[in-house]
Amino acid sequence: MEEPMGRRFGIGYALAPKKQASFVQVSLINLAKERGIDLIKIDLEKPLIDQGPFDCILHKIYSPSWKQQLSDYAVKNPNVPIIDSPNAIERLHNRISMLEVVTDINFECEKVSFGIPKQIVVYDAKAVKELNLEGEGLKLPVIAKPLVADGSAKSHKMSLVFNKDGLSKLKPPVVLQEFVNHGGVIFKVYVVGDYVKCVKRKSLPDVNEEKLGSSEGSLSFSQVSNLNSVERADDKYYSMMDLEDEKTELPPISFLVNIASGLRGAMGLRLFNFDLIRDVRIGNRYLVIDINYFPGYAKMPCYERVLTDFFWDVLNNNDDNKMDLNLQSSNMGTCEMEVRKLVSNSECEEDDGATNLPVSPIKREEKESSIQV
């Protein structure tokens, strides 16, 4: 572990109250402090330019006035890194531009391929009525997602549309995305600078022909991979699925690293996660279905250490370090592997599977094995 060498750093953070509660935990504050890094809350009631000094700014606030404040601050403090640029984050606020970036990445991969599901956008109610899905190259069922992904509850409200009747309930502007059977498991790939971590979560179950014929027009849901166990048990659709997914194989590690670094470079973002599903029809084809800015890192095992290492690197202009690969396994099904810089060799406790709960505090259980590739 690096010594603070007498110099202390201050990171100003601007987060919504819920995000602050889950992310800025005492364990993170203390670990950062040990490394000479103080996490300082930015007062959103006061002008940013009058606050500080900060050595770095961390934020997940989307208002135009905040964007203006950051811009004014950057003019006055050109050497203070802002994580991340509001313009770069904005690309993720639209579910079309969000996934366009995936189609821009290219790398050689022998055994697996990746892409995005077919999708179209419908802007108004009239267009919904006149919609010819087949003509658009889309097959039912489709997932209807609000075009805007700005973090509001509304932006997470989705529906699985089984037939034409289901289309009539849609509220444009909406993205219609091909529903791809993927065995009810989703891979959440967390990226923190050049650190990459993949965890498995429950997803929507596959839809078969029988279900397609007998179902109601559509079924609404929200943040299905983010439900806690009580919510899951109550959820009508969720309860239909097989909860045993321990056997699901993870995507190859080098493949995930390539996608992660491709996305990081193309988007100019350092803090994000992406959701990946494996197309059961093809098997070795993976689809990126969602990218989130500054996701729920506190649900990630060892998030304190990972984030503190990242802060250290940013503050010391060290964030281009060569990556090493570390494979980490767990028998809990939530943490299977990680690729990380070997900044810290300290033993780290892992999440015990309660990953979907708002994390305060997380109950943890120690189990880690790692090999260097």
Ligand X SMILES: Nc1ncnc2c1ncn2[C@@H]1O[C@H](COP(=O)(O)OP(=O)(O)OP(=O)(O)O)[C@@H](O)[C@H]1O
Interface residue list for ligand 4MY (CB under 6 A): 18-19, 22, 60, 151, 188, 223, 226, 273, 292, 294-296, 299
Ligand-binding annotation for 95, yes or no, is: yes
Q: Is 231 exposed, middle or buried (0-12, 13-18, 19+ CB in 10 A)?
A: middle
With CB under 5 to 8 Å by kind, the binding choice for 175 among Mg ion, ligand 4MY, ligand X, none is: none
What are the residues facing 144 on neighbouring strands? 159, 176
Residues at the site binding Mg ion, with contacts judged by CB under 5 A: 275, 290, 292
Spatial distance between the Cα atoms of 233 and 202, rounded to a whole number of angstroms? 12
With CB under 5 to 8 Å by kind, the binding choice for 42 among ligand X, Mg ion, ligand 4MY, none is: none
Ligand-binding annotation for 226, yes or no, is: no
With CB under 5 to 8 Å by kind, the binding choice for 204 among ligand 4MY, Mg ion, ligand X, none is: ligand X
Backbone angles phi, psi at 320, to 5 degrees: -105, 15
Spatial distance between the Cα atoms of 91 and 348, rounded to a whole number of angstroms? 34
Residues at the site binding ligand X, with contacts judged by CB under 6 A: 117, 143, 145, 149, 156, 158, 177-180, 182, 186, 203-204, 223-226, 275, 277, 289-290, 292
The nearest distance, CB 174 to ligand X, in angstroms, is 12
With CB under 5 to 8 Å by kind, the binding choice for 177 among Mg ion, ligand X, ligand 4MY, none is: ligand X
CA 6 to chain centroid, in Å, comes to 35
The nearest distance, CB 192 to Mg ion, in angstroms, is 17
Ligand-binding annotation for 178, yes or no, is: yes
Which CA distances in Å does 148 have to 92, 95, 116, 151, 263? Answer: 9, 6, 18, 9, 20
Ligand-binding annotation for 371, yes or no, is: no
Q: Is 226 left (phi over 0), alpha (psi -120 to 50) or beta?
A: alpha
Compute the residue count for the chain.
373
Q: 257-276 burial string, b = 16+ CB within 10 Å, else e?
A: bbbbbbbbeebebbbbbbbb
With CB under 5 to 8 Å by kind, the binding choice for 19 among ligand 4MY, ligand X, Mg ion, none is: ligand 4MY
Closest residue to ligand 4MY in the complex (CB)? 296
Ligand-binding annotation for 340, yes or no, is: no
Ligand-binding annotation for 52, yes or no, is: no
Q: Which residues, in sequence order, are CB contacts of 59 under 8 Å at separation 6+?
A: 13, 14, 15, 42, 66, 70, 82, 83
With CB under 5 to 8 Å by kind, the binding choice for 260 among Mg ion, ligand X, ligand 4MY, none is: none
β-bridge pairing 37-41 and 218-222: unpaired
Ligand-binding annotation for 184, yes or no, is: yes
Element (H, E) at 114: strand 113-115
Q: Which is nearer to ligand X, 52 or 183 (CB)?
A: 183
Q: Is 76 left (phi over 0), alpha (psi -120 to 50) or beta?
A: alpha
Q: What is the DSSP string of 17-51?
A: HHHHHHHS-HHHHHHHHHTTEEEEE--TTS-GGGS
Sheet of 142-146: strands edge to edge? 119-122, 174-178, 142-146, 157-161, 218-222
Q: Which is nearer to ligand X, 215 or 292 (CB)?
A: 292
With CB under 5 to 8 Å by kind, the binding choice for 224 among Mg ion, ligand 4MY, ligand X, none is: ligand X
The nearest distance, CB 65 to Mg ion, in angstroms, is 24
The nearest distance, CB 293 to Mg ion, in angstroms, is 9
Q: Which is nearer to ligand 4MY, 22 or 258 (CB)?
A: 22
Q: Which is nearer to Mg ion, 131 or 288 (CB)?
A: 288
The nearest distance, CB 273 to ligand X, in angstroms, is 8
Q: Which is nearer to ligand X, 279 or 309 (CB)?
A: 279
Ligand-binding annotation for 364, yes or no, is: no
Q: Which residues, in sequence order, are CB contacts of 164 under 8 Å at separation 6+?
A: 140, 217
Q: Which is nearer to ligand X, 70 or 161 (CB)?
A: 161
What are the residues facing 237 on neighbouring strands? none
Q: Which segments are annotated as binding site for 1D-myo-inositol 1,3,4-trisphosphate?
A: 19, 60, 156, 188, 292, 296
Q: Which segments are annotated as binding site?
A: 19, 60, 95, 145, 156, 177-188, 203, 275, 290, 292, 296
Q: Which segments are annotated as binding site for Mg(2+)?
A: 275, 290, 292
